[in-house]
């Protein structure tokens, strides 16, 4: 089983829709969690960190479920500009080497 797994998609949604992605991780010692966004042929950029209590940034909400070992990303009121690949990133406690998922592709259409 891969350390970090994501549904590759693509998720094809209309503008204004709400969409959610999950990411599962296999190592229970994982301690730090992030969502990065990668546009086509561009470098990844941090979207948000994921905190134990969950966190929100505008239309984006991230949640962590330690018991089931997954993190989620919810996007409300999708915009065309949200079309990208969303990368789940997990870091074990005591390690500075992140493990990236293969990403979930989102396509928002008019």
First and final C-alpha spacing in the chain: 37
Structural element, H or E, at residue 70: strand 70-75
Residue among 78 and 85 whose Cβ is closer to another protein: 85
Near another protein in 34-63, by CB under 8 A: 42-46, 49
Q: Does 103 bind another protein (CB under 8 A)?
A: yes
CB 107 within 8 A of CB 10: yes
Minimum Å gap between C-beta 14 and another protein is 25
**CA torsion through residues 30, 39, 73, 1, sign:** negative
How many secondary structure helices (H) and strands (E) does the chain include?
0, 11
Binds another protein (CB under 8 A): choice among 69, 70, 95, 107:
95
Residue among 43 and 53 whose Cβ is closer to another protein: 43
Residues near another protein (CB under 8 A) are: 4, 31-32, 42-46, 49, 87, 91, 93, 95-103
């Amino acid at each position: 089983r891969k350390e970090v797994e994501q549904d590759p998609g693509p998720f094809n949604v209309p503008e204004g829709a709400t969409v959610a992605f999950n990411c599962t991780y296999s190592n229970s010692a994982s301690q730090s969690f992030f969502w990065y966004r990668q546009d086509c042929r561009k470098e990844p950029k941090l979207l948000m960190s994921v905190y134990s209590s969950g966190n929100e940034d505008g239309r984006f909400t991230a949640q962590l479920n330690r018991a089931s070992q997954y993190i989620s990303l919810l996007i409300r009121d999708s915009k065309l500009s949200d079309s990208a690949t969303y990368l789940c990133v997990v870091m074990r406690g005591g390690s500075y080497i992140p493990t990236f998922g293969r990403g979930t592709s989102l396509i928002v259409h008019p």
